Amino acid sequence: MTQPSRSTPFAAIVLGAVALLGFPSAHAQEQVLNLYSARHYQTDEALYSNFTRSTGIKINRVDTDDAALIQRLKTEGAASPADVVLMVDAARLWRAETDGMFLPIKSRVLEQRIPATLRGKDDGNGSQWFGFSTRARVVVYNKIKVKAQDVDTYEKLADAANKGRFCSRSGSHPYNLSLFGAYLEHAGPANTENWLKGLVANMARDPKGGDTDQIKAVASGECSVALSNTYYIARLMRSNKPDDRQVMEQVGVIFPNQQSWGTHVNVAGGAVARHAKNRAAAISFLEYLASDEAQRYFADGNNEYPSATGVKTANPALEALGSFKQELIPISVVGQNTVKVQQMLDRVGYK
């Protein structure tokens, strides 16, 4: 199918309606976009309603987690009604890309707005996915029990000085897999496996819970240091609950490796589904997600960093966390490394 001209206004895209599996039937002239999303953030509702208001394109949505989303796409095959797929992790995006779930696209808007390191593979026909927001994986530590200089790099978390201090969510959770995949790219296989072995040796307890649980465990003294994505921290900082505010008074936040390769960042991204029936609308939606308006929703609504070049936000928590040096390796490489990392986790006993 010929892709629309970049000058085509969103609202001018006229798409034929088809009977869609799992979606309500559409009127003959109704413009539709069928979205499969692993994003479960209430603030995203404004993104969808604003896109519909400005374009007249109705969004039909299926919400599920990333694994179920990929399985659904596989099961539906060519009959899938999905036009756009949204996912929230580099490893998951890479897996879906590897499984052939995405359609490569060329868009001057997306290529200008989204840095090359935050895009999927491009074999000459266009990138397979684009990152629309990022979150940094940082160190949180108990300010009473730990000195900041003892945990200011990822490497130091495995030092003997931090024995019995470290708590973690599952090593196999995609947020950790992506960090470990990035570490592998920087440090090589032998150093990475030794580092993971050191993390296991330093654990205060078996891995459990999510990132917010790790932050609260550090504040309570159950452990003294942990890893978290920044948007969990920003949520607690912006919370109106006194208990959340008290948690953040107990913990410090460090952007690791500022003197070396920089802090690891993960990505939430989107792609056109391989068998999209409404491709013009799908590309227009992805371009909208790269707009200043949408990028500010990611930042101000869900405490994520905008990925588009030059976008400024008014999020007080992100501003308070400050600027930082981030790693520059391609996110797609991080995803590729996660298979090797999982094997290392199994060998060292990182549950």
How large is the average pLDDT for residues 115-123? Answer: 90
* 111/189 same-domain check: no
Statement to judge: residues 26 and 128 lie in one domain = yes
pLDDT digits (tens, 9 = 90+) for 18-36: 333 344 444 445 799 999 9
In this prediction, residue 12 has a pLDDT band, given cuts at 50, 70 and 90, of: very low
Other Cβ atoms closer than 10 A to 163: 13
Q: How many domains does the chain have?
A: 2
- Closest listed residue to residue 257, CA positions, set 219, 231, 227, 235: 227
Which two three-digit tokens encode residue 250?
């107990």
**Position 83 in a domain:** yes
Higher pLDDT pick, 195 / 41 = 195
Confirm whether 223 is domain-assigned: yes
Given a contact cutoff of 8 angstroms between Cβ atoms, the answer to whether 257 and 138 are in contact is no
Residue 162 lies in a domain: yes
Specify whether 329 is located in the same domain as 190. yes
Over residues 66-95, the mean pLDDT reads 93
Four-residue CA torsion sign, 37, 41, 46, 47: negative
Question: What is the structure's pLDDT at 29?
Answer: 57
> pLDDT per residue over 134-162, tens digit each?
999 999 999 999 999 999 999 999 999 99
Q: Is the domain of 301 the same as that of 256?
A: no
- CATH of residue 56's domain is 3.40.190.10
Note down the domain range covering 333. Answer: 135-263+323-348
Q: How distant, in Å, are the alpha carbons of 216, 246, 303 from that of 241?
A: 14, 9, 17
Q: Is 48 annotated as a binding residue?
A: no
Q: How far is CA 240 from CA 33, 41, 102, 249, in A?
A: 36, 18, 40, 14
> Are both 165 and 243 inside the same structural domain?
yes
Residue at 179 is within a domain:
yes
Same-domain status, 166 and 270: no
Q: Are residues 272 and 259 in the same domain?
A: no
User: Coil, strand or helix: which one is 119?
Assistant: strand
